[in-house]
């Protein structure tokens, strides 16, 4: 273990607050409740063993002895602050249920299950990870368990290790995978139950039960600190437009939350662009209009937030990306051919010939750099790696061109100097906020309770998150009920649908109401660094976008 900063040492001593129901672990009994699944019945034949289960909550019963459990845990996908607290919460709860319980951690993501590579997670090991950022205790990875051989290997691993349960900490894809593993294990008469935990800074694993995935709060607070600092810099020097791309693969939840925290001059919301069917040129013109109006007031600076997933919401890009996803899928020879070419222009030229007329029109209008970024390797789920596409630079470029044309026509007299920023990875392993520390610790406890209750194919929830911890409730919902058929790499597959920004929701209306003033005036708000100590309205805040739920 490396030397710990003073703050890290203080955070090790932080005792996460638990909702009162989790103070009585050994007395709790599961309560089964009807659950309105969104999954169409066409998916039922794929899940004969785990279809149609009820939701589970917990209520106080009589104190009863609990059998020792052996549980495996795995971290899957991108890092999200709080992962270590899910594991400490799981460990502590298993110990409280029965001190002879054991926890093992599969290393480096789901690939560790397939390779049966794991370590014992002990109280001593956890001493250095309580309330700390990152996933480094066991590592993470993006391997997806999908081939028959991988399923067989996973079953072998959990059987050899005699696991009562396997806890998968992951996003929408990993929890989809958890649903399939739960079904497969049960079908093969394995005793190992599978339980998911909703993780992802993107905040797109949301539904009636999952109010927000863990990590979102800390990531947004981290980005908002930086956006606030940049806004103050813009206001002080009055010479730059900052084009800030914010992580969040598809949905614009992070951009929305950060905008509500910092009040930039403009924020692009992918879902709105999609609804209004705005082209690249339309979006460029919206930004240009803001810049021209501000220039007329002598303001040649500003802050513009761009969600990472933006390009997929612009219709011409949507089609281009859909075609690229199919063309570059593993059963096609094109990715290999492209990778063997040294020259970026040749690579672009090769793919151009395979695209439809509409897609080629969009592709040809892009700078070569962006074309190359679109042709990089797919992620393990077959998606274009949008975090590699520098949309902040793309917009800087298109806006600059348009402003030059306006200047030539005598319609713009301002100065335009822009700086690109990308805030992404730096938010994923930050020290978790009190909110994420508490939330994750409660999620870990809930996973232990579900394992103890014999639940299979469930994802944990903690609800009422916009309220004080004392009002939080916990339980589990069946994963199959959250599935929906979606086209992936040209094939229809059941997946947990990514939740997009609700354009009829309170947070979006709040943004729309404030946007005109933010555009003209410099209403910047400076949240500063995450606070871990102090009054609750300073240190224990939850994401602003949650406030529409029950308030």
- Catalytic residue numbers read 202
Please identify, using beta-carbon distances, which residue of 66 and 378 lies nearer to ligand FBP.
Answer: 378
Asked if 245 and 391 count as a contact pair (C-beta separation under 8 A), the reply is: yes
Please identify, using beta-carbon distances, which residue of 132 and 387 lies nearer to ligand FBP.
Answer: 387
> Can you tell me which of 92, 108, 164, 202 binds ligand FBP, judged by CB under 6 A?
202
Instruction: Give me the residue label for tokens 């508490």.
Output: 438
> Can you tell me which of 201, 260, 450, 496 binds ligand FBP, judged by CB under 6 A?
201
Instruction: Give the residue among 154, 80, 164 at the shortest CA–CA distance from 118.
Output: 154
Please identify, using beta-carbon distances, which residue of 92 and 379 lies nearer to ligand FBP.
Answer: 379
Please identify, using beta-carbon distances, which residue of 192 and 387 lies nearer to ligand FBP.
Answer: 387
Phi and psi torsions of 475, nearest 5°: 170, -160
- Contacts of ligand FBP in 307-326 (CB under 6 A): 308
How far is it, in rounded angstroms, from Cα 11 to Cα 13?
5
Binding mask 152-191 for ligand FBP (x = CB under 6 A): -------------------x--------------------
Please identify, using beta-carbon distances, which residue of 249 and 278 lies nearer to ligand FBP.
Answer: 249
Please identify, using beta-carbon distances, which residue of 93 and 310 lies nearer to ligand FBP.
Answer: 310
Decide: is 252 part of the binding site for ligand FBP (CB under 6 A).
no
Decide: is 249 part of the binding site for ligand FBP (CB under 6 A).
yes
Residue 536 CB, shortest distance to ligand FBP, in Å, is 28
Size of the site for ligand FBP (CB under 6 A): 15
Decide: is 217 part of the binding site for ligand FBP (CB under 6 A).
no
- Contacts of ligand FBP in 417-476 (CB under 6 A): 428
What is the SS3 assignment for 55?
Answer: strand
CA 358 to each of CA 84, 282, 317, 319, 349: distance values in angstroms, whole numbers, following the listed order:
46, 17, 10, 8, 16
Return the CA Rg of the chain: 24
Residue 80 CB, shortest distance to ligand FBP, in Å, is 6
How far is it, in rounded angstroms, from Cα 440 to Cα 448?
12
Please identify, using beta-carbon distances, which residue of 194 and 201 lies nearer to ligand FBP.
Answer: 201
Decide: is 198 part of the binding site for ligand FBP (CB under 6 A).
no
Residue 77 CB, shortest distance to ligand FBP, in Å, is 3
Residue 385 CB, shortest distance to ligand FBP, in Å, is 7
> Can you tell me which of 19, 30, 72, 77 binds ligand FBP, judged by CB under 6 A?
77
CA 378 to each of CA 302, 331, 390: distance values in angstroms, whole numbers, following the listed order:
34, 13, 16
Enumerate residues 6+ apart whose C-beta is below 8 A from 45.
none
What is the SS3 assignment for 144?
Answer: coil
How far is it, in rounded angstroms, from Cα 528 to Cα 223?
10
Instruction: Give the residue among 188, 194, 146, 152 at the shortest CA–CA distance from 169.
Output: 194
With b for 16 or more beta-carbon neighbours within 10 A and e for fewer, the 416-429 pattern comes to: bebebbbbbeebbb
Residue 423 CB, shortest distance to ligand FBP, in Å, is 11
How far is it, in rounded angstroms, from Cα 380 to Cα 171?
14
Residue 285 CB, shortest distance to ligand FBP, in Å, is 27
Question: In the chain, what are the helix, strand and coil shares in percent, each to the nearest 5?
Answer: 45, 15, 40
Residue 172 CB, shortest distance to ligand FBP, in Å, is 7
> Can you tell me which of 248, 432, 444, 527 binds ligand FBP, judged by CB under 6 A?
248
| Greatest pairwise CA separation for the chain in angstroms | 81
| Range in contact with ligand FBP (rule: CB under 6 A) among 155-163, 241-249, 280-288, 395-403 | 241-249
Interface residues toward ligand FBP, by CB under 6 A: 77-78, 80, 171, 200-202, 247-249, 308, 379, 386-387, 428
């Amino acid at each position: 273990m490396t030397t710990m900063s003073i703050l890290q040492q203080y955070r090790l001593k932080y005792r996460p607050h638990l909702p009162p129901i989790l103070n009585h672990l050994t007395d709790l009994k599961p309560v089964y409740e009807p659950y309105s699944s969104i999954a169409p019945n066409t998916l039922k034949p794929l899940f004969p063993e785990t279809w149609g289960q009820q939701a589970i909550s917990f209520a106080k019963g009589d104190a009863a002895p609990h059998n020792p459990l052996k549980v495996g845990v795995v971290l899957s996908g991108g890092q999200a602050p709080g992962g270590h607290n899910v594991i400490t919460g799981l460990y502590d709860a298993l110990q409280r249920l029965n001190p002879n319980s054991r926890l093992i951690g599969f290393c480096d993501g789901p690939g560790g299950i397939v390779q049966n590579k794991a370590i014992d997670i002990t109280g001593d090991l956890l001493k250095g990870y309580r309330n700390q950022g990152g996933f480094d205790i066991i590592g993470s990875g993006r391997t997806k368990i999908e081939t028959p051989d991988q399923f067989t290997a996973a079953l072998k691993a959990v059987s050899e290790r005699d696991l009562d349960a396997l806890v998968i900490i992951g996003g929408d894809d990993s929890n989809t995978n958890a649903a399939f593993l739960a079904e497969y294990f049960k079908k093969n008469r394995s005793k190992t139950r599978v339980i998911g935990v909703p993780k992802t800074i993107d905040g797109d694993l949301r539904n009636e039960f999952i109010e927000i995935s863990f990590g979102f709060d800390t990531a947004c607070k981290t980005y908002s600190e930086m956006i606030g600092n940049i806004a103050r810099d813009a206001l002080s020097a009055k010479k730059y437009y900052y084009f800030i791309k914010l992580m969040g693969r598809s949905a614009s939840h992070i951009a929305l939350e950060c905008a509500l925290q910092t009040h930039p001059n403009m924020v692009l919301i992918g879902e709105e662009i999609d609804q209004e069917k705005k082209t690249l040129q339309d979006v460029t013109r919206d930004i240009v209009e803001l810049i021209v109006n501000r220039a007329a007031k002598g303001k040649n600076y500003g802050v513009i937030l761009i969600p990472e997933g933006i390009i997929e919401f612009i219709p011409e890009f949507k089609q281009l990306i859909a075609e690229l996803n199919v063309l570059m899928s593993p059963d096609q020879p094109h990715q290999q051919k492209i990778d063997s070419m040294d020259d970026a222009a040749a690579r672009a030229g090769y793919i151009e010939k395979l695209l439809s007329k509409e897609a080629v029109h969009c592709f040809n209008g892009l700078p070569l750099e962006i074309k190359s970024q679109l042709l990089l390797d797919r992620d393990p789920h077959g998606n274009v790696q949008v975090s590699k596409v520098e949309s902040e630079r793309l917009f800087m470029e298109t806006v600059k061109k348009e402003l030059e044309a306006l200047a030539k026509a005598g319609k713009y007299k301002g100065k335009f100097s822009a700086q690109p920023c990308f805030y992404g990875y730096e938010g994923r392993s930050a020290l978790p906020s009190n909110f994420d520390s508490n939330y994750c610790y409660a999620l870990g406890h809930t996973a232990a309770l579900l394992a103890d209750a014999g639940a299979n194919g469930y994802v944990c929830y903690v609800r009422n998150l916009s309220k004080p911890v004392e009002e939080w409730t916990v339980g589990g919902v069946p994963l199959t009920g959250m599935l929906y058929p979606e086209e992936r790499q040209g094939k229809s597959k059941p997946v947990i649908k990514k939740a997009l920004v609700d354009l009829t929701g309170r947070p979006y209306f709040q943004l729309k109401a404030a946007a005109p003033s933010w555009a003209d005036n410099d209403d910047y708000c400076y949240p500063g660094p995450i606070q871990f100590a102090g009054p609750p309205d300073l240190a224990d805040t939850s994401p602003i976008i949650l406030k529409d739920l029950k308030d």
